[in-house]
Amino acid sequence: MIHVAGTVPFTTIDFPNHLAGVVFFQGCPLRCPFCHNPDLQCVHEGTQTWEEVLGFFEKRTRQLDGVVLSGGEPLMQRDIEKIIADLKGVGFKIAVHTSGVYPKVLQKIIATVDWVGLDVKAPWDKYPVLCGCGNMAPYVQESIAVLNAAGIPYEARTTCDPRHLTKGDIERLTDDLAALGVKTYAMQKYRTFDKDANPPDDSAINAFFTDEEWLAKIRGKFDVFLTR
């Protein structure tokens, strides 16, 4: 069964240089304390059938360039190959947003994917604490190797939650990512949401993004460096 949590009919920001729709899938093995979609963590019957979703996007081939597979963790779907094949068959390019914890699945589908957004949560030594399910860092590192070998465009990015990450953490993580061959990296502002427990204040959130000298040091490690 394909567990669809919902869809977004149009986005200009989730698939670089493409007009796209988004499919959110139910289920994620991680339990990050800063997760914005905690309702998508557990696997249960979705809100739409895959046939309904595919039919919706079939009607939008003239408006959209591609479809983004997000979640949750889309690579947790057992039928991910069918999902991609169905959308490719309609004529869409495919972007995948993933935490990188399923490198073997990524290897299976990589030839059919056009772009990947890789969420790197924290420095490797903090993964066991912040992901809530053991040490997933080696799997993420393996996914980076898969992406580099495939040669497709991808972006590694980290959401900077000041409750769990420091500037020192970002420095250590970006050193490691650059050493692993990551060329494009994005730092993302943490955004509070309705069910957020003890949200950080704006000054703490913005502290990652106001020190231009420090940002320049991070920028120098990558071919492309983005903040958002």
pLDDT digits (tens, 9 = 90+) for 86-105: 999 999 999 999 999 999 99
57: phi then psi, degrees, rounded to nearest 5? -75, -25
Q: What is the pLDDT of residue 46?
A: 63
Give the tens place of pLDDT for each residue, 145-166. 999 999 999 999 999 999 999 9
The conformation of residue 28, written as its DSSP 8-state character, comes to -
Residue 45's pLDDT band (cuts 50, 70, 90):
low
Residue range of the domain that includes 47: 4-227
Give the tens place of pLDDT for each residue, 102-117. 999 999 999 999 999 9
Distance CA 180, CA 165 (A): 21
| Mean of pLDDT values over 54-75 | 96
What CATH number has the domain bearing residue 108? 3.20.20.70
Residue 31's pLDDT band (cuts 50, 70, 90):
confident
Number of separate domains in the chain: 1
- Give 33 or 136, the one with higher predicted confidence: 136
Distance CA 158, CA 100 (A): 13
Q: What is the pLDDT of residue 163?
A: 95
List, edge to edge, every strand of the sheet that includes 154-160. 4-11, 20-25, 66-70, 93-98, 115-119, 154-160, 184-189, 224-227
The amino acid sitting at 170 is I
